[in-house]
Amino acid sequence: MKKIHLLLLKSFIRPFVVTLFIVMFVLLMLFLFKYIDDLIGKGFAWYTILELMMYNSATNVAMALPLSVLLSTIMTYGALGENYELVAIKAAGISLRRAMYPMIVIVSILSIAAFFFSDYMLPVANLKYYSLLYDARKQKSADLLPEGVFSNNFTGYAIRVKHKDPDGQTLRDITIYQRTPDGSNTTVTMAKEGVMFRTMGDKFLVLKLKNGVRYEESKAEGSFDPRQQLQRFRFAETEQKFDLSSFKLARTDENEFKQASQMMNLKQLKFFVDSVQQQVNGSVAMNYKLVTPYIKYFMLPAKPGIKKYIPADKGGVLKSIKSTDQVMALSSAMSEVRSVKDVLKNRTDRYKSDSMTIRRYASEVQKKFTLSAACIALFLIGAPLGAIIRKGGLGLPVVISVIFFLIYYIISTIGEKSVKAGSVSTFFGMWIAIIVLTPIGLFLSYKAATDSVIFDMELYKRFFNKLIKRKGNATL
């Protein structure tokens, strides 16, 4: 029995590691394709891109791990069935359920590890990833002076270079507009050619201009016209410096991102949800106190001289009073309603916002557990499917695993969006995918244990042929 368990474990570990790396690589490529325009051409150091890719890989574990478990289990049991090793195991008197015990133990360990990863490591990886990605996307392009357009990369300047030589440093037909603090362009420098280079430490960009002219407009003494006086300077060679500090990657304080739900562990999420819930409850109690003064009750006091009270007409209380009093009563009531609406309007918006925040953070709490449950549910689907289809490799198992994973992903996404919209409860919306897939896995496990042939196409052909013949005989 130990040899069989070792055989199953060896057959599972290799495809699991391979499929995990393949899925992680595919998801990493999707990340690069999505943000390639925000990363290329900004002068980042190679280790910054590598750091961003590493953090992105850590955030993709939540999607890659369930898919890898599903695909590797289908491949493992499919290969065992294709090589008739499952037949030999059953011939030795060992049932499929008993043969699945070591796999169940391994997947359970993976599920526990996935929970601790999502609770301790994933919040840190999300914090590092999203903060670095935010800084990288807002970074200015490293192409300081593109050809044929006015560049506003340097504060207070608009620079146009008509042509660049192949060396990338020699410039032709340069125009520089220098803006004043009020936004006007009173200084213009034009040069036929120039050379640009950076100083040590990339602190400044220096433009060495040749054969040019500089125009400056200014106001004369006692004049309010800023362009009354024009000065022209011709030069054979001059230099102009531009500060490059804004082109260096400036890191935002990570504490500004720590309040997001993806950056919190289970303890922090529960504390945050409880705190916001207390605020909502306090706000509801305060609403009642604010509205109460606008609610007025009128009671007719009992007098000893009145022996009988005449009830109001069936049309209501308004029918029993004069028309002028009706107009006054209705206008007073409308005024009270408008006052109540004005008081509650802003508080209602705040209540909706707080409720949405609670649902979002509560759904993140459930995510810590659904990742582990997804690994077990997809294993219950993958193992019997592999035993039924009896195909190993990366052919049919990949197709089937992708189909079931898409079903899981679509259902879980719909459930999560429904939770955040407030359409369903948090528990039901976040666990709906597990609730749907677990019975399917148990059904497939039963079919695999009873040697079902649900994927035998010949069986379905014979069934439909018999059905067609019966219909033909019935029409005759």
The answer to pTM > 0.85 is no
List the chain pLDDT tens, one digit each, 476 residues: 577 777 777 777 888 888 888 888 888 888 888 887 777 766 666 777 888 888 888 888 888 888 888 888 888 877 777 776 666 766 666 666 677 777 788 888 888 998 888 888 888 888 888 888 887 777 665 567 778 788 877 777 888 888 888 877 888 888 888 887 776 777 888 888 888 887 776 677 888 888 888 888 877 666 666 666 778 888 888 888 887 776 676 677 777 788 888 888 888 888 888 888 888 888 777 777 777 776 665 555 555 555 555 555 555 566 666 777 777 877 877 887 887 777 777 777 788 888 888 888 888 888 889 888 888 888 888 888 877 777 666 667 777 878 888 888 899 889 888 888 888 888 898 899 899 988 888 888 777 777 665 555 566 567 667 777 666 665 55
Phi, psi of 387 (to 5 degrees): -70, -25
Phi, psi of 298 (to 5 degrees): -120, 125
Nearest alpha carbon to residue 367 among 419, 295, 318, 329: 419
**pLDDT value at residue 472:** 61
CA distance 79 to 390: 6
Q: 272 and 278 in contact (C-beta within 8 Å)? A: no
Q: Could you tell me which residues are beta bridge partners of residue 232?
A: 215
Distances (CA, A) of 26 to 31, 54, 60, 371: 9, 14, 10, 20
Own/partner pairs, 152-158, CB within 8 angstroms, 24+ separation: 153/246, 153/247, 154/205, 154/242, 154/243, 155/243, 155/246, 157/242, 158/185
**pLDDT value at residue 192:** 87
Nearest alpha carbon to residue 404 among 433, 365, 361: 433
